[in-house]
Amino acid sequence: MATLKQLAFRMARTPASGSLVRFGFAHADRLLPLTAVERGGLATIYRHPRPCYGTFHHIAVPLRGVPDIFALAHPRHAELRDSLFALIASARQRTPSAVLVNAGPRQDVGQVHFHLTDGAPYPEAVRSERLTWPGWDEALRALTSVPDIQERYRSGFSLLQDAAGPQVRLI
């Protein structure tokens, strides 16, 4: 029989639960079945509930309801982005790590979140030199100008920042 925690994670992965998941992170994050590693003003880093990359796998999550990477790119979330990316940068200074955000079908839950890991997410993926930006802010601002981005979104894509550098690539 599944535990309450297992049921909660299973439910969080259903499309209908997106609003509930966003509400949980925005208003009741301390009640979620996650272990906080580091807290910032508008974001928190948690241990990933089901790690699958490397020897450590954390997720950085904004503490406001933001469904996906496109919503996070909206100007109204500028302060939230600053807080989130500052928290991620701080964590990367202590432990060099790759940072990954999924979109479309690759995003399991209805709240945008960034994976931090010492592993190599999607090692077989082609790292596009053409669709590379200097950092997260530039990547988010430019994302909507990628010609086939809606098609890519429907099939699923990710943005990846390798552990070795600041560049963000569409994969």
Reduce the secondary structure of 59-123 to three states and give it as a string.
EEEECCCCCCHHHHCCHHHHHHHHHHHHHHHHHHHHCCCEEEEEEHHHCCCCCCCEEEECCCCCC
pTM of the entire predicted model: 0.86
Q: Do 101 and 115 meet the contact criterion of CB atoms below 8 Å apart?
A: yes
pLDDT value of residue 75:
93
pLDDT value of residue 4:
56
Q: Hey, what domains does the chain have and what are their CATH numbers? A: 18-170 (3.30.428.10)
pLDDT value of residue 68:
93
User: Parallel, antiparallel, or unpaired for β 36-39 and 43-47?
Assistant: antiparallel
pLDDT value of residue 128:
62
Q: Would you give per-residue pLDDT tens digits along the chain (171 residues)?
A: 556 555 555 556 566 666 777 777 777 777 778 899 999 989 999 998 888 878 889 999 999 999 999 999 999 999 999 999 999 999 999 999 999 999 988 888 889 999 999 877 777 766 666 788 999 999 998 988 888 898 988 898 999 998 888 899 898
pLDDT value of residue 93:
92
